[in-house]
Amino acid sequence: MRRIRPLVATTVAAIALTSLSACSAAQKAAQGAAAPMVSVADAMSMTTKATQKYTSASTKMSEQVTAKGQAVDMTGSGHISWSPLAMDMTVTSPQLASKLAGDSSLRMMMSGTTMYMGFTGNAPAAFKGKHWLKMDLSKNAAAAESLNKTSGTDPATQVKLFISSGDIKRVGTQTVDGVSTTRYSGAVDLAKLAAKQEDSQLKSLIQQDSKQGITNMNVDLWVNDQNLPVRVQEATAPSSSMQLKVTIDYSDFSTTPVTITPPAASDTMDLPSQLPSS
């Protein structure tokens, strides 16, 4: 319907220059031709189908976490693909950089189960002159959990989680990153949502949040006129012991997978597989 509106508006304006009565007739015709607003359920179904046509996208993210009196802020941008799983992002976190005594920008690249993390500037002294850490995410339980979370950041999974909440309302229209969107909001009880999940991956993702002490989430989804998600936002309830707000923006959907060029082995340090689990 949004694609039709600019054309209708232009046509009506042109006719108005000729006569007022013609303008009135054009407006009535436009109203008669306008498609009825689809239900929320149908809109979510169309978003699911549209998203599943693609396997990669550009993304921006921001995350604010407050737990046990400590706050961590993180922002990032780059490209992800979820089939096959790959990522190339630059992430900035002043708190993380302070703990590692390195620059605040961290580049994260992943292909399959192999992840590389490197500082774009000065690396921590613990890196012994090297700039990259290499991890095999399949060899450690904590790392495997991180891999599972990463695989859940694709928009198709995000939309599935949103729809499965069952409590979704259309809020209205908003402009996000210069794109006209329709916003939908939902409230999620994680325990109830996990109990009714048949998809094992979705159930695992929900249970991971529950382990962090998160019981309820407010979720918002912004969808463009192509039925594609433009933004997904998750936030804990104010009463939660852990405060979390994550915003992910998507653009440039594609079927071209993300490819990375691994850093030189001489500039890479292997991270031991025997890492403590969180």
Query: What CATH number should be reported for the domain holding residue 80?
Result: 2.50.20.20
Domain span at 27 = 4-36
Number of domains in the chain: 2
Do 201 and 76 share a structural domain?
yes
Do 217 and 175 share a structural domain?
yes
Task: Encode burial over 161-200: b for 16+ CB neighbours within 10 A, e otherwise.
Answer: bbbbbeebeeeeeeeeeebebbbbbbebebeebbeebeee
How much is the pLDDT for 176? 96
Do 75 and 31 share a structural domain?
no
Amino acid at 203: K
In a domain, 183, yes or no: yes
Do 26 and 66 share a structural domain?
no
Strand duo 132-136 + 268-270: pairing? parallel
In a domain, 172, yes or no: yes
How much is the pLDDT for 36? 59
How much is the pLDDT for 58? 96
Bridge partners for 174 per DSSP: 181
Q: How far is CA 248 from the centre of its chain?
A: 4
In a domain, 104, yes or no: no
Do 15 and 82 share a structural domain?
no
Strand stretches in the chain, DSSP E = 56-67, 70-82, 85-92, 105-111, 114-119, 132-136, 168-176, 179-189, 216-223, 229-236, 243-254, 268-270
Low-confidence stretches of the chain (pLDDT < 50) are 1-35, 148, 150-151, 273-278
Reference 240, options 219, 214, 211, 205; nearest CA is 214
How much is the pLDDT for 199? 62
Do 22 and 144 share a structural domain?
no
Do 51 and 26 share a structural domain?
no
Reference 192, options 219, 210, 170, 172; nearest CA is 210
How much is the pLDDT for 110? 92
Q: Concatenate the DSSP letters of all residues of 51-118 into one string.
A: HTT-SEEEEEEEEEEEETTEEEEEEEEEEEEETTEEEEEEEE-HHHHHHHTS-SEEEEEEETTEEEEE
In a domain, 261, yes or no: no
In a domain, 102, yes or no: no
Structure token pair of residue 220: 């918002």
pTM of the model: 0.76
Most distant CA pair in the chain: distance in Å? 80
Strand duo 229-236 + 216-223: pairing? antiparallel
How much is the pLDDT for 216? 78
Do 198 and 221 share a structural domain?
yes
In a domain, 111, yes or no: no
Give, to the nearest 10 degrees, the angle between helix 155-164 and helix 200-211: 80
In this structure, are residues 105 and 92 in contact, taking their beta carbons and an 8 Å threshold?
A: yes
In a domain, 117, yes or no: no
Q: How many CB atoms lie within 10 A of CB 52?
A: 13
Do 57 and 170 share a structural domain?
yes
Do 9 and 66 share a structural domain?
no
In a domain, 169, yes or no: yes
Helix (H) or strand (E) holding 15: helix 4-16
Strand duo 168-176 + 179-189: pairing? antiparallel
Do 84 and 22 share a structural domain?
no
